[in-house]
Amino acid sequence: MALIVQKYGGSSVADAASIKRVAKRVAEAKRAGNDVVVVVSAMGDTTDELIDLAQQVTPLPPQREMDILLTAGERISMALLAMAIHNLGVDAKSFTGQQAGVITDESYGKARIIDVSPSRIATTIAEGSVAIVAGFQGVNPSTNDVTTLGRGGSDTTAVALAAALKADVCEIYTDVDGVFTADPRIVPAARKIDRISYDEMLEMAASGAKVLVLRCVEYARRYGVPVHVRSSFTSHPGTLVTDAPAPATETATDPATDPAIDPATAEGATMEQPIIAGVAHDRSEAKITVVGVPDVPGKAARIFEVVASAGVNIDMIVQNVSVAATGLTDISFTLPATDGAAATSKLTEHQPEIGFASLQYDDTIGKLSLIGAGMKSHPGVSARLFAALSEAGINIEMISTSEIRISVVTRADSLDEAVRAVHTAFELDSESDEAVVYGGTGR
Amino acid sequence: MALIVQKYGGSSVADAASIKRVAKRVAEAKRAGNDVVVVVSAMGDTTDELIDLAQQVTPLPPQREMDILLTAGERISMALLAMAIHNLGVDAKSFTGQQAGVITDESYGKARIIDVSPSRIATTIAEGSVAIVAGFQGVNPSTNDVTTLGRGGSDTTAVALAAALKADVCEIYTDVDGVFTADPRIVPAARKIDRISYDEMLEMAASGAKVLVLRCVEYARRYGVPVHVRSSFTSHPGTLVTDAPAPATETATDPATDPAIDPATAEGATMEQPIIAGVAHDRSEAKITVVGVPDVPGKAARIFEVVASAGVNIDMIVQNVSVAATGLTDISFTLPATDGAAATSKLTEHQPEIGFASLQYDDTIGKLSLIGAGMKSHPGVSARLFAALSEAGINIEMISTSEIRISVVTRADSLDEAVRAVHTAFELDSESDEAVVYGGTGR
């Protein structure tokens, strides 16, 4: 018997039939002897419809009222799900974020969780009932007003509740089978990852993998909550995000008896994490090039101060080698394309002071990231990555690396091809005979 | 400067355009120097849509979850209205029933208000903001769970808040111009009543007038809250429900100078309440006749005990004169048609014990009620009523009276004609020259 927190997104509870299907799944988990807490998002397009209504009423809704409006969506889905579970003969009660003890700061629309005190939830499961909790919402204790957690808020609610209740696992139900070695829409041979570390999952999420949001993974890592990402349409296991070692049975091939395996790399593959977890991609960034910056100390810092003052986060940075004759250099950086207008207008405003010649804005870039905790101890990963891209005729515009990630910027229209080439080069394709070298079949 | 509680129903906030129109009206009241509290229902058909969703999920939704579900509707409309008012440059904040301090018992689905502690509302209006409050809902303090107040709950919320805040008036906005002397769809010559006492309004509501629910009028009478029923589509005054004497200017005709008026009745019309307030009708009742009841003491009481044990309220009762030869009598009573099945099945169950011969069920009846505080001191009102119905060829099946009301049961298909005949006979028609005798023009 375990304590399980399950989270179902909007597409899993889009209509009455879907809600009944989810109810059946929850009832099964409960009947199997588990304590079950369910976090639920608003039904299907409800949130978008409410935003649309607000925009019909006013171009600039006060954020406090917007949060009150949007939280109606989860109120509807949580009550319907509780009813549907009750109809299957299993006791269930629904709770708002406030009733579940999700305490946040007062940043309406993007509140951060500052505490979780789920005493009503603990009482409810102790009584043998299933507790249904509205995702995406909490309460600002200084005013007793409802707040929303922003994008990915329901996943974060689920992980936060799992941490506070010391749940055995937090199951995130979604419309895909788990986390893949690459987006299967781009790489048909992509494989589902069975097990991934928090650090790798963080890098995947930060690099464009959409299945889990960054803050949810951060929360899970901080509190050591095992997160199981799985499909709400099948009962297959999905991807387990955890730092706990895999059970021995998960190693599909024994290196000692398989003559095809090089003992040097095989040891790494079985004793430690596999080298490569997957290939992520991101089309949401743009590149700004500040042309003709005086190559004197402090100019680059000033540029990034100005961009930061617009509330914009920068991702990758490249400074060209200065041309000695002119004393000028070019600085390029990437940023979310949605922040492009804010950053360029702020830079233009400070152009006289910084003294650059012009700005170039390019939103037709793509970013590919190769992620794997094993790469830090394996030389040659970069070389293999660049070779693969070169063989595919793809030009690299920018590069950045961390201990467990290498990211490159390409033209946006080359990105799909780049992802496929890299996925194949690192033998992540599901048909590859050598996958075990990179830990492929064991994941 | 006054403190005004305004209540807008679902049809007044059915879509974004309607919400903006209501916002304009609220902003005007605020800009005119008043403190304004607004109680709002769910938008248009939202409640019906939510009930429909629940029924798709389960045939028997737990009432606690049903209340959570339904209260999402007001959450949406209150936030949108606050946004729309804010957009007009007037500060507005929305509050749930719980936040507004509406404390109820724990009868989910039909909770009774046990206390109202609107400290957040008082603070909000003291700060110069408009407070928007979700109607129809409160909180059960023993569990901190949301409750709904049942039919007419938003009107009751408005009157309860007005009482707790000691508001100068509670304005109930609706899609008609006020309370009429009869339903204008049946009597085109029906006149709007300018002023009506709590007792008369109570009898009107209890007798089928739908513009205000009974419990709301009861609450208003108990706390002396003046209720102004008016149209949300015009700025004309509607009907004021109050026991306060009308200002002298409301008497349209001066009896001392108008030679057409008989001084004897004119004194009553000007010094006291007018005789007749209006004619109400009700098509929602049915009649059960218990045939062949042994005419011995205790049998009638036993019949009504059995009906009461089914949770059914009885309205009118008639016992036929016993036929001495048989020692049997017939007992007829009326009840809400929706309770017909429950009452007949309970009676059939107890048939052997009570010993009646058979049951007759008739749901093709109509009830007409003539209401007026003045009738208690004016003889001849019943005689005039029966004469009017007789002249129109309408048969009376049952009669009941109170100090300020006479009700008769007719065939359902004669009811419209009966209402028109009585309305004309008591000179309530708007074209009548003698209307002032019955206080007509003064109301």
Q: Where are the beta strands (DSSP E) in B96-246?
A: 102-104, 113-116, 130-134, 137-140, 145-148, 169-174, 195-196, 227-231, 239-241
Domain that residue B337 falls in? 251-443
The predicted model gives A132-157 an average pLDDT of 94
pLDDT confidence bin for A320, thresholds 50/70/90: confident
Q: Which two tokens stand for residue B55?
A: 């029924």
Same domain, B320 and B225: no
Same domain, B308 and B357: yes
Chain B residues with CB under 8 Å of A16 CB are 53, 56-57
Answer whether residue B378 is part of any domain.
yes
Same domain, A40 and A176: yes
Contact B54 A94 (CB under 8 A): no
Answer whether residue A249 is part of any domain.
no
Contact A94 B65 (CB under 8 A): yes
pLDDT tens digits, one per residue of A59-75: 999 999 999 999 999 99
Q: What is the pLDDT of residue A264?
A: 42
Q: What span, in angstroms and rounded, lies between the C-alpha atoms of A83 and A271?
A: 48
Question: Of B245, B265, B286, which one is at a domain's C-terminal end?
Answer: B245
Same domain, B202 and B271: no
Q: What is the pLDDT of residue A249?
A: 53
Same domain, B82 and B152: yes
Same domain, A233 and A108: yes
Question: Is some CB atom of chain B closer than 8 A to the CB atom of A351?
Answer: no
Contact A335, A343 (CB under 8 A): yes
Chain B residues with CB under 8 Å of A98 CB are none
Look over chain A and give the mean of its residue pLDDT values, rounded to a whole number: 89
CA of A132, closest CA in chain B: separation in Å? Answer: 11
Same domain, B362 and B220: no
The predicted model gives A3-28 an average pLDDT of 96
Same domain, A344 and A402: yes
pLDDT confidence bin for A425, thresholds 50/70/90: very high
Same domain, A65 and A198: yes
What's the Cα-to-Cα distance from A410 to each of A246, A276, A284, A390, B162, rounded to whole Å? 36, 21, 13, 12, 66
Answer whether residue B190 is part of any domain.
no
pLDDT in tens, chain B (443 residues): 899 999 999 999 999 999 999 999 999 999 999 999 999 999 999 999 999 999 999 999 999 999 999 999 999 999 999 999 999 999 999 999 999 999 999 999 999 999 999 999 999 999 999 999 999 999 999 999 999 998 889 999 999 999 999 999 999 999 889 999 999 999 999 999 999 999 999 999 999 888 898 999 999 999 999 999 999 889 899 999 999 887 765 444 444 444 443 444 433 334 444 689 999 999 999 999 999 999 888 888 899 999 999 888 899 998 877 767 788 889 999 999 999 999 999 999 999 999 999 999 999 999 999 999 888 888 889 999 999 999 999 999 999 988 899 999 999 999 999 999 999 999 999 864 433 333 333 33
Same domain, B283 and B141: no
Q: Which two tokens stand for residue A200?
A: 């790798």
Q: How many domains does chain A have?
A: 2
Q: What span, in angstroms and rounded, lies between the C-alpha atoms of A204 and A372?
A: 9
Chain A residues with CB under 8 Å of B80 CB are 53-54, 57, 65, 69
Question: Is some CB atom of chain A closer than 8 A to the CB atom of B143?
Answer: no
DSSP A85-106: HHHTT--EEEE-TTTTTEEE-S
Q: What span, in angstroms and rounded, lies between the C-alpha atoms of B61 and B50?
A: 12
Contact A44, A12 (CB under 8 A): no
Q: What are phi and psi of B370, to 5 degrees?
A: -105, 125
Tell me if ipTM is over 0.90. no
Chain B residues with CB under 8 Å of A52 CB are none
Question: Is some CB atom of chain A closer than 8 A to the CB atom of B376?
Answer: no
Neighbouring CB atoms inside 10 A of A268's CB total: 17
For tokens 């009432």, name the residue: B63
Chain B residues with CB under 8 Å of A62 CB are 82-83, 86
Answer whether residue B188 is part of any domain.
no
Contact A58 B83 (CB under 8 A): yes
Same domain, B287 and B336: yes
pLDDT tens digits, one per residue of A44-57: 999 999 999 999 99
pLDDT confidence bin for A152, thresholds 50/70/90: confident
Helix (H) or strand (E) holding B408: strand B405-411
Answer whether residue B182 is part of any domain.
no
- Between B19, B50, B78, which is nearest A76 by CB? B50
Answer whether residue B381 is part of any domain.
yes
The predicted model gives A264-291 an average pLDDT of 74
Question: Is some CB atom of chain A closer than 8 A to the CB atom of B60?
Answer: yes
Q: What is the pLDDT of residue B248?
A: 63
Q: Say how many CB pairs under 8 Å bridge A and B.
A: 109
Question: Is some CB atom of chain A closer than 8 A to the CB atom of B69?
Answer: yes
pLDDT at A414 over 70: yes
- Per the annotation, where are the binding residues of B for substrate? 47, 74
What's the CATH code of the domain at A340? 3.30.2130.10
Same domain, B95 and B157: yes
- Between A54, A59, A144, which is nearest B80 by CB? A54
